[in-house]
Amino acid sequence: MHNILIIEDEDKVSEVLKAYLEKEGYKIYCTTRGLKGIEIIKTIEFKLIILDLMLPDITGEEVCKIIREKSDVHIFILTAKGTLDEKIEGLNIGADEYLVKPFSPRELVARVNALFRRVLAKNDESNLYFDDGNLVIDYNKRLVKLKGEEISFTPNEFNILYFLVKNKGNVFSREKLIDEVLGMDFDGYDRTIDVHIKNIRKKIEKDTKNPKYIITVTKAGYKFGGEI
């Protein structure tokens, strides 16, 4: 059973989501306050946080940033803010999915189920080492180390990097990466992949303009170029 925390100031929305997700067997916790949510996370291990951006005490963006400083838990953002720039900003601060209100509870449940299917399908993978051990990717612990220093990754950033690494040398389009990593039920912009790639490069590349690990193949997509 996976624990899920809903941080949402509309009680009716929380109640509906709680009912739908509990039918799927998840253990659901709810709060209407961002600061309370941060406190709850300190005492309970969650696999997913469903986070509204419009909260009464602290913005959802601030909550997301605080969580990301200490955890790689999956975060789904719920919001009425639906422009492309706002979605990109949500991804940049560490969100994994961005759902615009109003949305279908059944759609959210489908996305949650798909997320955990992808996670469980990869739980038998092994560690990978590149550049004489300067870059280490540990799937079981879901961590990345660069020159011995652990680097914080969001779940989607980690999954994209790991997929490219496991398929080293192969080129994947944005659409293919969305299907393989984010899931075919992903409902967003293909440029979402570009945002994630940009963030990954900032974390592992010495020179983001001349990357050695995440290589852009013009008019084709991306591939992993690191050497063992």
Residue 218 maps to which CATH number?
1.10.10.10
The structure's pTM equals 0.62
Q: Are residues 36 and 114 in the same domain?
A: yes
Strand ranges in the chain using DSSP code E only, listed in sequence order: 3-7, 27-31, 48-52, 74-79, 97-100, 128-130, 135-138, 143-146, 149-151, 214-217, 221-224
Q: Are residues 117 and 208 in the same domain?
A: no
Q: Are residues 103 and 24 in the same domain?
A: yes
Report the pLDDT value the prediction gives residue 228, as an integer from 0 to 100.
55
Residues making up the chain, counted from first to last: 228
User: What total number of domains does the chain contain?
Assistant: 2
Q: Are residues 24 and 100 in the same domain?
A: yes
Report the pLDDT value the prediction gives residue 216, as an integer from 0 to 100.
94
Q: Are residues 30 and 109 in the same domain?
A: yes
Residue 12 CA to residue 194 CA, distance in Å, equals 35
Q: Are residues 157 and 176 in the same domain?
A: yes
Range of the domain at 27: 3-121
Name the residue type at position 48. L
Q: What is the mean pLDDT of each run of 10 residues along the chain (228 residues)?
A: 92 94 94 96 93 92 91 88 76 84 89 79 66 84 90 92 91 90 67 91 94 93 83
Task: Give the torsion through C-alpha atoms of 153, 156, 161, 165, to 10 deg.
Answer: 130
Report the pLDDT value the prediction gives residue 122, as an integer from 0 to 100.
57
Sign of CA dihedral 74, 139, 39, 21: positive
Among candidate residues 132, 148, 139, the one with its CA nearest the CA of residue 212? 132
CATH number reported for the structural domain that contains residue 79 in this entry: 3.40.50.2300
Residue 160 CA to residue 220 CA, distance in Å, equals 16
